[in-house]
Each structure stands twice: as C-alpha cells, then as structure tokens.
Amino acid sequence: MSSQPTTSYFANLNELVIHFRTLLDSKKYVLLFAYNGTGKTRLSGAFKDLGKQANTETGISTADTLYYNAFTEDLFTWDNDLEGDTNRYLNINRNSRFFDGLRELEMESRIRRFLRRYADFDFSIDYENWTISFSREVRIDDATEKIENIKVSRGEENIFVWCFFLAVIQLVVDQEQAYSWVKYVYIDDPISSLDDNNAIAVASHLAQLLKSQDEIKVVISSHHSLFFNVIYNEFKKTKGKDYFLSKNKETGEFSIQDTGDTPFFNHVALIKELSKAANTGRLYTYHFNILRNILEKAASFHGFKDFTECIKPDEDDEEGVIFARYVNILSHGNYSLFEPKEMLDDNKEVFRKILQGYMESYRFNPELFNEESRIE
C-alpha cells in the first residue's frame, strides 16, 4: 500500500465542479479544507452557476443549488436612517429564490428556533415592504423594557443571516414545495467572521441538521481547521469524501488531496488547536469534547478498548480514574454559541495534564507546533 496520498489535478474551476457533481451522484457529501485565497468562494459560485438551466421557451433560468458564502449576506442591506437615526432595518432582496415562500411558510417562527440558541435579540419581518427590524429586551431596575429598531452588531447580523439560512435548509430537508428545486446545498465558510470558540456549536448544529436527511447532496468548504475537523468527525460514518484543496498560483491548476489517505491530517490539526488553547489559557468546556475525540481515535488506532487507556497516569491519579471522570463529565453538554463556558482554573490544570501526558506518550513532530501552540 502506497504511503503517498491520492491527489487529483484539474486545469480550472469548471473541471473541478464537474468532478464534484459527478462524485455526488454516488456520495452524500464533499468536505473541503482550503486556505484563504485558494478560490473556495469562487468554487461555490461556479458550482451554483453550472446548475443553472435556461428554459428555451420562457427564458427563465432555473437552479439546483442553495448556497451560502460571503455573498449571501449581500442579500440583506441596511437602511440606517442616517437623518433621524431611529428607523434602522435590513432590506431583503425580494428577487432572490433564497426567499421563496417567505410569508407562506411562517419564516419568523422557523428562524427564531435557531436564533434563540445563539443570540439575545429578536426581529420582525415586514412582508409588505420586505424589511427586517430588530429589537432587544433590556433590564432596567426591576422591569424589562423592549428596545425597538436597534442596530445589531456585524457579528449579530451574520448570526441572523446564518440562522435564516439554517431555517431554509430545514425547509429543504422537510421537502417543502417552495424549495423542491434544491438538489445541492453548498456552504462556504459559515463562521468566517465569528470567533474560534463558536466553531463547535455551528459545526455540530449544521451536521445534525444535514445528517437527518438522505435526499440532498452537500458540499462544505472551510479554511477553519477546528470547524473542518468537527464536521469531519460528525460526518465520518456518512458516505462522502474529504479533501484538502490547493491551487498552483503559477499555472492556475487546482488539486484535491484525499484526507482519508492521510488519517492524521485531522488528528494533528485538532491537537494543534488544543495545544494553542492550553498554552494561551483560553480553554472552554467544549475543548474536552475535542480531547475525548482525540483519545478515542488513539485508543482505536493502538488497539485499546477504551479511550481511558490513553490517559497517562499522574502522581495524583496513578490509575487515571479521576482524569477519566473529568473527560467523561466535561465532554457532554450543549454549549451556547456566544456564551461558551470557560473552564474553571482547576479544570484547566487537569486538561493541560491530560493533553501533555498524551503528547508525551504518543510523540508528534515538534516542528508541527509553533511557539504559540506549545504547552508550557
């Protein structure tokens, strides 16, 4: 068996899109990891454009791809009421198929289902004027007051658009007639403007939604290693392909490397994330989820029955029982997107000991870890 990873080359984006569409005839998803500047967003646009077909009789163009990328947010534009600074709202591009059946399908309640997980503001859709206004309840003394027509932050706006998209995906999964045209869902960097701490929640919620159906084919691309690895592990039992996408800047040629041929591609990336978090002190409870995943993979690779076999004994816990309980308890939970729970100092210390012990027992190339990601 060759140790060289399988790599395929494509002269241009169109060839790559055709390859992915052909691949999805037999696979449920394609997952891409690529650095910024590789052409991920242009690839999503090319994938969508190839699915457009013009009716020769009516001249109306039809599509088969629901996609989310950096340009999706452009479907919403702010009217900031610069003169009065009182009526602030988002304008909706009513001509986009993204908004099919907006009023009939009661989108407000569908969006709120997702938004309440992530944010503390509310919204209202004006179906006559195609606008969205925002509000927030604030505590004043002993009473709660609702502030209308607020201007949400850029990050909150991104979250709202993302929740809007999730609500549309749910309609696709539920096979609503208004979205019966959707054959593919293409998602490019959904957390590009969000904090690293949000990757776990976004990836997990997205994966659970998409795994619940079998009809729609999915492409997800990201430059965010933590997000990629969470999605990878969520989808690992699903029939699909995982690739590392790169581009030759001199020739313009694209290549995809099958990460399934390099089993530690995801493993090492996760360890680097944990090492960086441990060294900087920015440790949150969800990091125990990632640590457990790493320990489980190592246990399977080395033939152990349980991940606890990969926890290095400590002088304060020679049998590893206490450390195992920490991992078991703290690796379960539902974590809020904007309010990730930071570990207590004692838990941070235990986390560092477990991770350090693992890295000492199963040695990795130290050159993979820069100064910021080395555990002190």
When pLDDT is cut at 50, 70 and 90, the band that residue 2 belongs to is: very low
Q: What Å distances lie between residue 109 and 23, 113, 248, CA to CA?
A: 36, 6, 46
When the pLDDT of each residue in the chain is averaged and rounded to a whole number, the result is 81
The mean pLDDT value for 72-81 works out to 73
- Is the pLDDT assigned to residue 376 strictly greater than 80? no
**353 and 286: one domain?**
yes
**51 and 187: one domain?**
yes
The predicted structure's pLDDT at residue 217: 94
Asked which of 262, 284, 304 is the last residue of a domain, the reply is 262
**337 and 208: one domain?**
no
**47 and 118: one domain?**
no
The predicted structure's pLDDT at residue 287: 83
Say how many domains are in the chain. 3
Token pair recorded at residue 318: 């020679």
* pLDDT tens-digit readout, 242-275: 998 888 888 989 999 887 645 445 677 778 878 8
The predicted structure's pLDDT at residue 18: 95
Which residues 6+ apart lie within 8 Å of 281 measured at CB? 348
**249 and 272: one domain?**
no
The domain that holds 236 is classified in CATH as 3.40.50
**140 and 76: one domain?**
yes
**271 and 258: one domain?**
no
Question: Would you say residue 171 lies in a domain?
Answer: no
Question: Would you say residue 168 lies in a domain?
Answer: no
More confident residue, 78 or 350: 350
DSSP secondary structure string for all residues of 201-263: HHHHHHHHHHHT-SSSEEEEEES-HHHHHHHHHHHTTSSEEEEEEEE-TTT--EEEEEGGGST
The mean pLDDT value for 300-309 works out to 82
Domain ranges, residue 245: 7-64+183-262
**248 and 290: one domain?**
no
Asked which of 240, 262, 284 is the last residue of a domain, the reply is 262
